[in-house]
A and B are shown apart, each in its own frame.
Chain A
């Protein structure tokens, strides 16, 4: 499809914007919306320039969203990790949104791969070992990057190691209390228990991707991860937050023996420790695992609330309907287990 055939003039707006940005006569072709994350509208397109064709991705703010996030932070995350782990090269950021009606950024498109559906069985088949090795290797590399040296440091202040857990819990608890439509006793009990049984200070304050899991990376179908995506919840904090989130049973593709549908948790931790240079504190990881279910419940609670406003948004509908029931189950099981193990 050429830009001229585009429904709401998005293609023409893109052509005008990129022509001005690059001082070139840019033609936009093959503009197509893709299901790339629930927090931004995502489009793929080709930009035809005098120098050749560039495959690009547009990420534009939606009208309603799964969770409010700052596109500048996401853009700086791509800048921070391009070249360190497989992420697309960021191209341009517009925070005012005038040229395309809403704020947006554009990045390089990485072709030749697809994300797994997070709720399908055995998504990586015979390549699950290779995918697991890469997934936790890249996560370890993210954890060992020095936050102060990254572009992200321009917009985020790292918390002190002892405050990583409380700032994370404060943030998500506030969202649950703000957006809850129906009383949720299980997550309330989990939040109280997390406060009574705090983890030790973070061994290192690192970049936390925020949504690092199966379904948020592209793989080539042959065991290679070609792009880590969906950095919209990136922040500084305890790197165990990402490790626990990636190991959350919600993302295990219905196979409790493997994390993220890939390898065993023991293997995942060993790879992560080797790559990050950090030792996982088992008690701290237990805290961050329960926290993961609370954080998930906050995201689903917001999705359910936003769905009442943006009733045709099916990403919000399914996010507000299916995962909160599973996270309640995960939390309830964890609470019983942790109390058996001595949590107050």
Chain B
């Protein structure tokens, strides 16, 4: 998993509050401050849409795993994995369980040569990745 929002914010605070060595002044410190700024833009995106993205993904995973019920009862049972209190932490916990099941289902689908479900899984991967992608703040191009 990529670092969580609390981990990243603590990291920024730790970096900014650390006593710098004299040789850190200049370019290194300037770069560190730019990195904090960039991280905060990315953290803002994750905070704004993180819950919605995870709720969507967990729902899509339950639905697809249900369609793979013929490969094992554990996949059909995925519908019972709930989203808890919908905090990022509980959504991630459910997401981890669902993703582990998806990995096993995909292996079974590939072994069976089930091209239809294979393509459905690949399409879901694309949608998952698309929704989780983060956008960097625009920088000025070189002239």
Mark A residues whose CB is within 8 Å of B.
1, 5-8, 10-11, 31-35, 43, 116-117, 119-126, 181-186, 188-189, 192, 300, 304, 307-308, 311-315, 317-318, 320-322, 324-326, 328-329, 331-333, 335-336, 339
Contact = CB atoms under 8 A, between A and B. Distances in A.
Given A308-B7, A333-B129, 18 more contacts: A7-B24, A10-B23, A32-B25, A32-B26, A33-B24, A35-B27, A122-B141, A124-B142, A185-B106, A185-B125, A307-B7, A313-B15, A314-B11, A314-B15, A318-B42, A321-B42, A329-B130, A335-B122
A317 B118 contact: no
Interface of B: 1-3, 7-8, 10-12, 14-15, 18, 20-28, 31-32, 35-36, 38-39, 42, 92, 95-96, 99-100, 102-103, 106-107, 110, 118-119, 121-123, 125-126, 128-130, 132-134, 136, 138-143
Contact of B21 (A10, A300, A325): A10
B141 A121 contact: yes
Contact of B138 (A6, A7, A121, A183): A121
A336 B142 CA distance: 34
Contacts of B107: 192
B122 A332 contact: yes
Contacts of B134: 321-322, 325-326
Main secondary structure of the interface of B (DSSP, over half): helix
A313 B122 CA distance: 35
A-B CB proximity, top 4 nearest:
A182-B1, A7-B21, A122-B141, A312-B14
Contacts of A32: 23, 25-28
17 contacts: A7-B21, A32-B25, A35-B31, A121-B138, A121-B139, A182-B96, A183-B102, A186-B129, A188-B103, A189-B106, A189-B121, A312-B11, A312-B14, A317-B11, A317-B39, A322-B42, A328-B132
Contact of A317 (B8, B18, B25, B110): B8
Residue with the highest number of chain B CB atoms closer than 10 Å, among A121, A192, A332? A332
A339 B132 contact: no
Given A181-B1, A311-B10, A314-B11, A325 B27 contact: no
A323 B124 CA distance: 20
